[in-house]
């Protein structure tokens, strides 16, 4: 598990602006900050993948440079994950992409819910590095559902989960559900508390609504 917020960097400023209840009212800035964070996650994650030497021809000669052996498959959960996904794609710009529609379907009491998945579009993932992004890892139930659905299409070489804010409960759920050797967590910050309706506190609010406007109830 890698927690970027544990080390001081400009990443912390972007997350602070994303969390700020005044600044986050600027939807364009909110989206751009999520995208910036995705770029930083991608850069840090890129240090862990496999590289091979390749010859690059310049106008004056040749030079050997270590380049990624393969591009990953980048997946996200609609709709909140799109800006974070775009940031990762900005750096892994030759990657294939997967998109999943999953949401919480609340019961009448609004506290209990089930995860509904209605759409999945993905390339071949067998033997490939899979990066799944979602701004919030709350209970971990949505992420686990998505991972299992993608694994049903093929066995990835390795799975990286990228989330800006995670709860301790969500982390525990992922660790309990999956083999520790198959998944790496890339997190911005870890928050301690979940509300009765399973929202992270202090968190940042509803990332989808803040990025794209409030959806109809």
3-class SS of residue 168:
helix
Give residues with Cβ within 8 angstroms of 79, minimum separation 6: 208, 211, 212
Q: Is residue 177 part of a domain?
A: yes
Q: Which tokens is 16 given?
A: 């602070």
**22-62 pLDDT, tens digit each:** 999 999 999 999 999 999 999 999 999 999 999 999 999 99
- Strand 113-121 to 96-106 pairing: antiparallel
**pTM listed for this prediction:** 0.91
Q: Is residue 62 part of a domain?
A: no
**121-179 pLDDT, tens digit each:** 999 999 999 999 999 999 998 899 999 999 999 999 999 999 999 999 999 999 999 99
Tell me, rounded to whole angstroms, the distance of Cα 161 from its chain centroid.
5
Residue 102: give the domain boundaries.
2-52+67-212
The CATH number of the domain where 7 resides is what? 3.40.50.2020
The total domain count for the chain is 1
For residue 105, which of 151, 53, 142 has the smallest C-alpha distance? 142
d(CA 45, CA 24): 26
Structure-token match 């400023």, residue found: 13
Q: Is residue 114 part of a domain?
A: yes
């Amino acid at each position: 598990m890698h927690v970027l917020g544990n080390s001081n960097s400009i990443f912390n400023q972007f997350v602070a602006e994303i969390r700020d209840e005044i600044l986050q009212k600027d939807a364009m800035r909110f989206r751009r900050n999520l995208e910036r964070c995705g770029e930083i996650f991608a850069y840090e994650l890129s240090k862990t993948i496999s590289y091979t030497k390749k010859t690059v021809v310049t106008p004056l000669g040749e030079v050997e440079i270590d380049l990624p052996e393969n591009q990953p498959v980048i997946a996200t959960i609609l709709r909140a994950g799109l800006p974070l996904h775009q940031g990762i794609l900005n750096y892994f710009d030759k990657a294939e992409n997967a998109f999943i529609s999953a949401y919480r379907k609340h019961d009448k009491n609004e506290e209990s819910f089930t995860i509904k998945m209605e759409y999945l579009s993905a390339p071949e993932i067998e033997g490939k590095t899979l990066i799944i992004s979602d701004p919030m890892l709350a209970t971990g139930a949505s992420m686990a559902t998505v991972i299992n659905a993608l694994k049903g299409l093929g066995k990835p070489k390795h799975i990286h989960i990228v989330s800006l804010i995670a709860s301790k409960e969500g982390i525990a759920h992922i660790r309990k559900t999956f083999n520790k050797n198959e998944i790496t967590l890339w997190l911005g910050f870890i928050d301690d508390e979940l509300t009765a309706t399973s929202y992270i506190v202090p968190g940042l609010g509803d990332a989808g609504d803040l990025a794209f406007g409030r959806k109809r109830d």
